[in-house]
Amino acid sequence: MKPWILGLTGGIGSGKSAVAQGFIDRGVHVVDADHAARWVVEPGRPALAKIVEHFGTGVLQTDGQLDRGALRKLVFADAEQRRWLESLLHPLIGQEIAQVLARAESPYAILVSPLLIESGQRHLTQRVLVVDTPVELQVQRTVARDQSTEEQVRAILQAQASREERLRHAHDVLVNDRDMAWLDAEVGRLHSFYLTLRGGQP
């Protein structure tokens, strides 16, 4: 039987990666949209050529790889440029994700995506799990992890779907405001539940 697809999302610094790792440790096939986003802009892929044509060679590193930091500065400063980039990349990322999910052999597979709701990727899934975290905790974690400034993190939060919007689409919510042992136990509980579902439905 074809595995059903769970969408896993949450804002920056919510702990999506730790939750995803918990499912991987239990043998679930996980596809990360951020990885797919990197694959589609590798040197030699058409998306990278279009990005350079649009933004100029300033978005390239010396080795020909995309300079993500330079590109991020350009698009976060200009909503129109961000929309242009998203309209180029979202369909390509969607194709890449669908191909990788099609190879899954676990009873269900997971698509991890920070932009699951706003990019329309939730249409690839049958159920949505939101990792929810208080905003101040998201900011603290991200500043500590990425050495970003608080302003940069808040700008990224503004660009992502609001908590309310994400929660509106959630079938399941995991509030990640405790320690790792508790988080892993919650993942185990959800995994046992998901194994009982057919097509993502009880």
Residues annotated within the binding site for ATP are 13-18
Provide the angle, in degrees to the nearest 10, between the axes of the packed helices 68-76 and 79-101.
Answer: 130
What are the binding residues? 13-18
CA dihedral 157→51→35→200, nearest 10 degrees, is 70
CB atoms within 10 A of CB 202: 7
Best CA proximity match to 174, nearest among 189, 163, 186: 186
DSSP 74-93: HHHT-HHHHHHHHHHHHHHH
Are 98 and 2 contacting, i.e. CB atoms less than 8 angstroms apart?
no
- The pair of structure tokens assigned to 147 is 């050495």
Best CA proximity match to 140, nearest among 22, 16, 15: 15
C-alpha 170/C-alpha 7 separation (Å) is 9
